[in-house]
Amino acid sequence: MGIALTKEQTNRVEELLSKMTLTEKIGQMNQESVSIVGGFDVPFEQLIEMMTDGRLSKEEFENIMKTAKTDYHEDAIREGKVGSLMVQDPEKCNELQKIAVEETRLGIPLIFGLDVIHGFRSVYPIAIAEAGSFDTELMEKTAAMAAKESRCSGVAWHFAPMLDVARDARWGRVSEGPGEDPYLGSCFARAKVRGLQNDHSENENYVAACLKHFVGYGAAEAGKDYNTVSMANHILYNNYLVPFRAAVEEGAQTAMASFNDLNGVPSTVNKWALRDILKDNMGLPGFVVSDANAIKECVVHGIAEDEKDAGEKSANAGLDMDMGTEIYIQNLEKSVEEGKVSMDAIDDACRRVLSVKMWLGLFDHPYVSEEVMKRYEEIPEEHKELALASAEKSAVLLKNEGGILPLKKDTKISLVGSLADNRSEVVGAWAISWKEKDCVSILDGMKQEFSNVNYYPCGGPEGDLNENEIKDACNNGDVIVAVLGETVAMSGEASSRADITLPGKQRELLQKLIASGKPVVLVLMNGRPLALQWEAENVTAILEGWHLGIQMGNAIAHILSGKKNPEGRLSSSFPAVTGQCPIYYNHPNTGRPAGNFKFTSRYLDAPFTALYPFGYGLSYTSFEYSDLAVTEDNDALKISVKVKNTGDREGTETVQFYMQDVAASIVRPVKELKCFEKATLASGEEKTVEVKLLKKHMGFWNNQGKYCLEDGLFRIYAGADSATELCEEIRVGFESVEKEPDYPVE
């Protein structure tokens, strides 16, 4: 359901459109790139990239922003040639907005957009982690928090949520999205759109979402960023489009085209993807923006002869806004005169941009008031609490041999690893507006929670090991907590890795720590699933901490002490070795499924299952499943299972329900997540968890884009993760069940 404008607002848009010159219309389709000139001659977004990938520290970035001369394209704004900019300073936003509103012929406000991927000032866990909380209410709240904080800084448009289904952990951008599963991805998508967009009680409470990257970017060949994507239609429809459809149904306003080509056509110029599917079929109400510089890159891609040609192909495909190349503003007028781009295409694009601005209330409230600007000068307590709650719920306990965790508060702990004492490493890739003083490192959190912590850096993802510190760590602690993993710069955009084991000398460090004979608890900080076969065999416990945001240190310490019982789950499968990538639980079956004999679908030198499967995660208590029952109930299946807390403390279990379509006209996945429910149970408590699976959701799209509901046998699974074998079979008929809409075929 798109969020419609009122009749009066629609009329205002149409009236405006009727008064606009062609240049002004194209101006709305132009997002200027703020360039830093004089010494640092790079566009703003590149500067952000340099900060997020570690080439610039946060401090250096802020200094450049303060001192460098910046070109905000004031003259072009004055001439009505700019529709949008990437700016995050509220005073600057007001200054530029004033030019747009008071000095242009029609007074159309600018829309300021930014990468607010997992929080603005209050950074919460990266998406791959947060999705693993399986807590959609929390996901919605963190998005709402980010919306408020950024809108009070003038940013009314988030380049988020990132919804790329991603199954290859070599790809650095797995960190930014909700993981490998289309259903969990669509729950995440809906929650994020609601959180960002739905609170209209005040103008400062909502922003426009921008779904990205449309489409197929997560399937970049060999996990190499920006790489080519080839996929059959049924894989696209049933997996990669699913979270986007859900987000559009929830009312998402805008989307971003992806860098990659899909079956030979870059998304930037892909009419089938942008116009036929995203706009006409799904019904995206607002506009589509290109990715940064992407129109220009169509020439390099080999799909356009020159920039003008690239602009024409993009505009005709339904790409409404050019991010940063000025190709539209410099060429489209001529292209229209030459009849290469229709006036209808321009009007459609401009109308979409104006409508989103209208929906955001920018025409009536273009500025950020002094009072609003100051609202989040300091992070309010409730935002800290939210960041903490989501961090605590997103960490995943992978191993806990002999119940070594939780640790007593007076345990003599040797805390090891340079990442532990680094406040800027907790925020993860694509965090821009955070401040170091708000961040709690693991060392900070541990000192707060435990009485006897000694810190020995010893080494980290980069650089050498310090033998003396290793010796001291081994001699002085009763338990060694080693904080290892990846730096922020090792995941995110343009950060693919061909070997996803612990980088640098960290395994060697672990070997030396283990040689002490003391128990070693490995706390991971990383932006992607890692290949942990050796670690899983050799360390005593593993806590997957991802990059959990500003409250990471407290969250980890609370879990290690048992103040918080871990409940996070994996939103992506962890391979044993890199060569298993891409690895995902919901793969299609072969005629020779992997088994312990030769002529099956497997490797000779690696396991055939994930080391830790999708949905996996331990607790300090244990749960038992029984009595799975599946019955038909009109247009749904009623599924129930008994879950019992068999341990000695309260805990929260994520009860997962999977389905397999046993025989269909095309090969279906071995399992698909269909529902989940979180259940908090006291020690010894048993509960029947009941869910409904609508029959309408049991079908699939075939290669011809038809949504098929085929009568036959289905297996329904329930359990703690995707490897569950607790199963019931049921024969289902779909007569008179309403279907999902079909897709257009390329």
Alpha helices in 174-326 (DSSP H): 182-197, 233-235, 242-249, 271, 294-301, 307-317
Q: Is 721 a catalytic residue?
A: no
- Select 266 or 719, whichever has its Cβ closest to ligand NOJ: 266
Query: Please, what is the minimum distance in Å from the beta carbon of residue 209 to ligand NOJ?
Result: 12
> Do the beta carbons of residue 123 and residue 549 sit within 8 Å?
yes
CB of 227 vs ligand NOJ, minimal distance in Å: 13
Pairing status of strand 261-262 against strand 254-257: unpaired
Contact status: 261 vs ligand NOJ (CB under 6 A): no
What are the angstrom distances between the C-alpha of 265 and each of 231, 262, 269, 705, 746? 12, 5, 7, 19, 11
Query: At closest approach, how far in Å is the CB of 163 from ligand NOJ?
Result: 11
> Left (φ > 0), alpha (ψ -120 to 50) or beta: where does 339 sit?
left
Q: Which of 45, 309, 322, 326 binds ligand NOJ (CB under 6 A)?
A: 45
* DSSP class of 426: S
Sign of the alpha-carbon dihedral angle for 279, 198, 148, 127:
negative
CB of 619 to ligand NOJ, least distance (A): 34
Residue whose entry in the numeric block shows the structure tokens 């509901």: 709
| Binding residues with ligand NOJ: total (CB under 6 A) | 7
- In contact, 263 and 14? CB cutoff 8 Å: no
Which residue among 93, 131, 292, 479 contacts ligand NOJ (CB under 6 A)?
292
Interface pick for ligand NOJ out of 40, 124, 159, 455 (rule CB under 6 A): 159
Give the β-pairing of 42-43 and 84-85: unpaired
Residues 662, 720 contacting (CB under 8 angstroms): no
180 touching ligand NOJ, by CB under 6 A:
no
Q: Which amino acid is at 449?
A: E
- Closer CB to ligand NOJ, 292 or 373, in the complex: 292
What is the closest distance, in whole angstroms, from the C-beta atom of residue 324 to ligand NOJ in the complex?
A: 8
Q: In the numeric block, which tokens belong to residue 269?
A: 């110029």
Q: Which residue, 214 or 363, is less far from ligand NOJ as judged by CB? A: 214
- Closest separation in Å from C-beta 489 to ligand NOJ: 15
Of the candidate residues 32, 71, 115, 168, the single one contacting ligand NOJ (CB under 6 A): 115
DSSP state of 697: G
Site for ligand NOJ, residues 211 to 240, rule: CB under 6 A: 212
Measured from the CB atom, the residue of 310 and 560 that comes closer to ligand NOJ is 310
Residues paired with 520 in a beta bridge? 480
Q: Give me the 697-736 binding string for ligand NOJ, x by CB under 6 A, dash otherwise.
A: ----------------------------------------
Residue type, 143: A
CA distance 462 to 505: 8
Task: Report d(CA 658, CA 296) in Å as an integer.
Answer: 44
By beta-carbon proximity to ligand NOJ, the closer residue of 45 and 320 is 45
Please state the closest distance from residue 158 (CB atom) to ligand NOJ, in A.
9
CB 417 within 8 A of CB 457: yes
Q: How many residues does the chain have?
A: 746
Interaction of residue 291 with ligand NOJ, rule CB under 6 A: yes
Shortest distance, position 151 Cβ to ligand NOJ, whole Å: 18
Q: Using DSSP bridges, classify how beta strands 30-32 and 322-323 pair: parallel, antiparallel or unpaired.
A: parallel
Q: Which of 149, 150, 161, 148 is nearest to 88 (CA)?
A: 150
| Residue span 600-639 as binding mask against ligand NOJ, x where in contact by CB under 6 A, dash where not | ----------------------------------------
Nearest residue (CB) to ligand NOJ, 43 versus 477: 43
Q: Are the beta carbons of 40 and 28 closer than 8 angstroms?
A: no
* Contact pattern for ligand NOJ over residues 477 through 516, marking x by CB under 6 A: ----------------x-----------------------
- Residue 676 CB, shortest distance to ligand NOJ, in Å, is 28
Output 212 or 234, the one with its CB closest to ligand NOJ. 212
In Å, how far from its chain's centre is CA 608?
27
Give the nearer residue to ligand NOJ in terms of CB position, either 291 or 425.
291
Query: 84 vs 441, which CB is nearer to ligand NOJ?
Result: 84
Q: Indicate left, alpha or beta for 39 from its phi (over 0: left) and psi (-120 to 50: alpha).
A: left
Indicate the DSSP class of residue 222.
Answer: G
401 secondary structure, DSSP code: G
Residue nearest to ligand NOJ (CB): 159
Q: Catalytic pick from 135, 168, 181, 291?
A: 291
- Residues contributing to the site for ligand NOJ (CB under 6 A): 45, 115, 159, 212, 291-292, 493
Residue positions annotated with a catalytic role: 291
